[in-house]
A and B are shown apart, each in its own frame.
Chain A
Amino acid sequence: MSGITADDAMAEAPQERQGDSYLTAETGLASWLLTTDHKRVALLYAAALTAFFFIGGAAAVLIRLELFTPASDLVSAEGYNRLFTLHGLVMVWFFLVPAIPNTLGNFLLPLMIGARDLAFPRLNLFSWYLFMGAGLLLLAALLLGGVDTGWTFYTPFSTGYAHSNVLLAALAVVLVGFSSVATGVNMLATVHLLRAPGMGWFRLPLLVWSIYGTALVMVLATPVLAAALLLVVAERAFGLPIFDPRQGGDPLLFQHLFWFYSHPAVYIMILPAFGVVSEIVPCFARRRIFGYTFMVYAILMIALLGFLVWGHHMFVSGQSLYASLVFSFLSFVIAVPSAIKVFNWSFTLYRGQISFQAPMLYALGFIGLFTLGGLTGLVLASVPVNRHVTDTYYVVAHFHFIMVGGAVTALYGGLHFWWPKITGRMPPDGWARFAAVLMFFGFSFTFFPMFVMGFLGMPRRYASYPPEFQVWHVLASAGAVLLAAAYLLPMGYLAWSLVRGRRAGDDPWNATGLEWRTASPPPRDNFRVPPIVEEAAYLYHPRHEGPRHEEQEPHRDQGGGT
């Protein structure tokens, strides 16, 4: 009932209702820096993350330039170490981990469950300041000469031998971890306690579920990383022996603690991407998501199993072979829920009424690249093959397929999908489709050759290499140019669309979901009338029929009434 009133209000008001959107409700710098509006905090995060994406990306460009020739001619071996450490630190903790949860998640989570804001709005802002503080610490570490340990801070090198700013970088990572935990607590409390009337657990959109799973992992894994890095700080700064083998310590203990966080961190990066794709695919296939409940359980299963597979990073560390076999088995097991998700997206497409708008192209690209990344993960999870390809470009290719081909592609897809909601303007679809296709090919040209050269034995983390690998490196470096263009292009046309883009209606994609039942951009309090939910998610067509193929099936509003 109330939903009808909200719809009527929207129908009456023309699109010129910018005066009271969240973007214009208050003005001035302080209204942004002191805001507790989850939508504005999301944009603050987006601005900060864009800056870090440029920094980490610049390092990647330098790496690819250096590797264009076999000799170490652009940077020294020492400088190369600092480059890839910079790239890893920035991209993992200051871009990928917060990328989707803190921007799209922050913006959409309250909207999708029909809430006015996150449960703890001031904590949300506080977590951004923690993030910025950590970011400045990291930048200080980089400006003072960088770090050369790799993003993994392995002992005893990091504690006893590295002559670089390990302490500053480790403290930055500990601090950004607190920001992660604050975000996680906030999201969990929001999903538990702020769902609109009628929004039961199994009516939640899958993006909400995936952020819920991510938040669980963030809250439970991040503190262990903090513990491990604090021990590194204690040993390096105060000489308190913990991992030092000369004093009886066990350096492998660090690896166990580190990967206990850092493997679940992979799922922190990829689970929100699953959520984004699960929103886009049904919308552009005009089809209910296939196997909603299984998708939910798959998310929770991944979040749980993610904690039990860390040892597959340590197959060659000398850990017990029996431990390796168990970790190998569990790593195969965790592929099952991931495969369920891929199959369910494919079945959602089956007999769907598919249109290839830009967000859908990104989502389809995601499915392909993620599948390849996941399958090569199985190759790596088998102990004997792992011995062969450990520390080669095969590993580099594998995790870039997941994190870049997967998470970043989904981020760009989600950005295009929700851009009209965030800004009130449509992205130019022609350019956006071009960028999506370019990203797929640029990515494939960059990273697929790495599988080949890695399998042929090219080790990672070297500035110079035998000349027989040059052809693969040249391919990768050339692909990186395309990929960089595909990443920069949307920044250009999205900025252009802010001024010249076509104005978006409330629901430009004919999508389900409460976020589309309010104005674009939404008002400060998200909904003029608090929504009441009466239907499950993704009702793109009646329950027992497929979508019609002649014309688009008018979907029923999720929060909209009767």
Chain B
Amino acid sequence: MSGDVAAALREPWDSLRRQREAAEFGVWIFLGSEALLFAGLLLAFAVNRTLHPAGFAASGRETDIVFGTVNTLVLLTSSLAMAVGSEAARAGLRRLALRALATVLLLGLTFLVLKGFEWAKDLREQLWPGAGFRLAEPGARLFFGLYWTMTALHALHLAGGLAVVGWLSWQGWRGTRPLGSPAFQVAALYWHLVDVVWILLYPLLYLGGRA
């Protein structure tokens, strides 16, 4: 394994333990930054929800709760697979790690495909807040303005996560990246953030107005 450690070690670090610490520290900082990115959008949502409670409740009833709930389950499961994958990589369990990462990729893609179907359905139901928008309640246009922005930004983050996990899995499979590399834990932390963001979006966009 010492060759493995040497292969994973990068400048300017003297020890892999320290390098891993730095990588995780760095990504936590980055996640804090990401959290504030979504916090800006969530603030915009909260403000408008306070200004137009009826419109937001009415709009919340129009989103597709089946797609939303299934996607929530898919994403939560993918996070479990990601946790398994990253820990298996750290423990050097190659087959388990690669299988878990493949599951993550599959579930992430499922989420995006389902999201695509959901968006298509929303468009058919005239929920794009442009000309011909179906809802008349004041504030409904704002709700859907934020709905499209937030789900799109989230999907973009998920796609980024897929690219990273796909790249790491490819390298792990080819053997060009040692399993001891901190990158697997870093990718896992990012993936969990994308999951956490969705856990906030789900009740705001799908459950509001349905209670």
Residues of A within 8 A of B (CB): 36, 110, 115-121, 123, 181, 184-186, 188-189, 192-194, 219-224, 226-228, 230-231, 234-235, 238-242, 247-250, 253, 257, 260
Q: Report the nearest A residue to B41, measured CB to CB.
A: A227
Interface of A, helix, strand, loop or mixed by DSSP? helix
Query: Contact between B138 and A248 (Cβ–Cβ < 8 Å)?
Result: yes
Query: Contact between A189 and B33 (Cβ–Cβ < 8 Å)?
Result: no
Query: Which A residues touch B153, using CB under 8 A?
Result: 230
Query: Which A residues touch B149, using CB under 8 A?
Result: 230-231, 234, 240, 242
Query: Which A residues touch B141, using CB under 8 A?
Result: 241, 247-248
Other-chain contact of A222, B18, B26, B33, B139 (Cβ < 8 Å):
B33
Query: Which B residues touch A120, using CB under 8 A?
Result: 22, 26
Once bound together, how far apart are the Cα atoms of A512 and B155, in whole Å?
51
Other-chain contact of A224, B37, B47, B138 (Cβ < 8 Å):
B37
B32 within 8 A of A: yes
Q: Report the nearest A residue to B45, measured CB to CB.
A: A242
Q: Which of A119, A226, A253 has the most CB of B within 10 A?
A: A119
Given A227-B40, A228-B40, A230-B149, A36 contacting B33 (CB threshold 8 A): no
Query: Contact between B51 and A239 (Cβ–Cβ < 8 Å)?
Result: no
Query: Which A residues touch B12, using CB under 8 A?
Result: 110, 115-119, 121, 194
B39 within 8 A of A: yes
Given A247-B142, A249-B142, A250-B48, A188 contacting B29 (CB threshold 8 A): yes
Query: Contact between B37 and A242 (Cβ–Cβ < 8 Å)?
Result: no
Query: Which A residues touch B32, using CB under 8 A?
Result: 219-220
* Min CB gap B15→A, angstroms: 11
- Range of interface residues on chain B? 35 or more
Given A189-B22, A227-B40, A239-B129, A248 contacting B55 (CB threshold 8 A): yes
Query: Contact between B40 and A241 (Cβ–Cβ < 8 Å)?
Result: no
Query: Contact between B38 and A227 (Cβ–Cβ < 8 Å)?
Result: yes
Once bound together, how far apart are the Cα atoms of A181 and B37, in whole Å?
11
Once bound together, how far apart are the Cα atoms of A27 and B152, in whole Å?
45
Given A119-B22, A239-B129, A248 contacting B139 (CB threshold 8 A): yes
Having A193-B25, A224-B40, A248-B51, one finds 13 other A-B pairs with CB under 8 Å, namely: A117-B11, A120-B22, A194-B12, A194-B22, A224-B39, A226-B37, A227-B40, A228-B40, A240-B146, A241-B141, A241-B142, A248-B52, A257-B40
Query: Which A residues touch B167, using CB under 8 A?
Result: none
B163 within 8 A of A: no
